[in-house]
């Protein structure tokens, strides 16, 4: 499983939920490559396919690099049945002042990978977000935000249903249990 590494201001409950959803989505969608981007703060649904034109390939959202806490790249090792962290050949987020049309197409990085963005600062905000794109797919992209009440729960979803999010979370939970082994 891919672990979402917390920073000082990240709520562990949100990261656990996001980690289950992300890993469940990667397994369900049979992805063999993934890029994970930890953004410094909450972001809203307006970032979903923001610079991607209808009928064209998805593009990397133009978050300014100073908002990016980390960018990580993983590939699935078939022999080990595990995700392996690898070096990024080039950063996903680069400074592009006043030039949003230069947003990079996903296919420039990989023709069949999942690209995931998740928010930080969830302790103070009590709200978090996750966004997933797939390169090489017909504009497969979704966004979900979560709010902390007694437990973290879905607040808003775009291009995905709550049922799909719950399915991804359940799959991720099953993977966690399998990883821990019998108790």
Is residue 108 domain-resident?
yes
Is residue 4 domain-resident?
no
109-166 confidence digits (pLDDT tens): 999 999 999 999 999 999 999 999 999 877 799 999 999 999 999 999 999 999 999 9
Is residue 2 domain-resident?
no
Is residue 56 domain-resident?
yes
Output the pTM of the full model: 0.93
What residue numbers bound the domain in which 52 lies? 12-180
Q: 90: number of CA atoms within 13 Å, CB side?
A: 10
Is residue 58 domain-resident?
yes
Number of domains in the chain: 1
Is residue 35 domain-resident?
yes
Q: Write the DSSP string, 30-93.
A: T-SEEEEEEESS---GGGTTTTPPTTS--B-----GGGEEEEEEEEEETTTTEEEEE--SS-S-
């Amino acid at each position: 499983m891919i672990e979402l590494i917390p920073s000082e201001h990240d709520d562990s409950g949100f990261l656990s939920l996001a980690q289950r959803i992300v890993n469940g989505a990667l397994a369900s969608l049979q992805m063999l490559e993934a890029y994970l981007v930890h953004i410094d703060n909450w972001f809203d649904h307006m970032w979903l396919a923001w610079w991607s034109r209808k009928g064209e390939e998805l593009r990397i959202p133009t978050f300014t690099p100073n908002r990016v806490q980390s960018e990580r790249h993983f590939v699935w090792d078939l022999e080990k049945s595990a995700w392996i962290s690898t070096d990024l050949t080039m950063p996903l987020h680069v400074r592009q002042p006043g030039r949003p049309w230069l947003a990079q197409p996903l296919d420039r990085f990989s023709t069949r990978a999942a690209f995931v963005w998740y928010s930080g600062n969830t302790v103070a905000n009590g709200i978090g977000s996750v966004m997933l794109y797939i390169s090489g797919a017909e504009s497969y992209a979704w966004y979900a935000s979560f709010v902390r009440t007694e437990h973290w729960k879905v607040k808003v979803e775009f291009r995905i249903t709550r049922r799909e999010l719950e399915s991804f979370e359940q799959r991720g939970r099953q993977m966690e249990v399998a990883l821990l082994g019998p108790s």
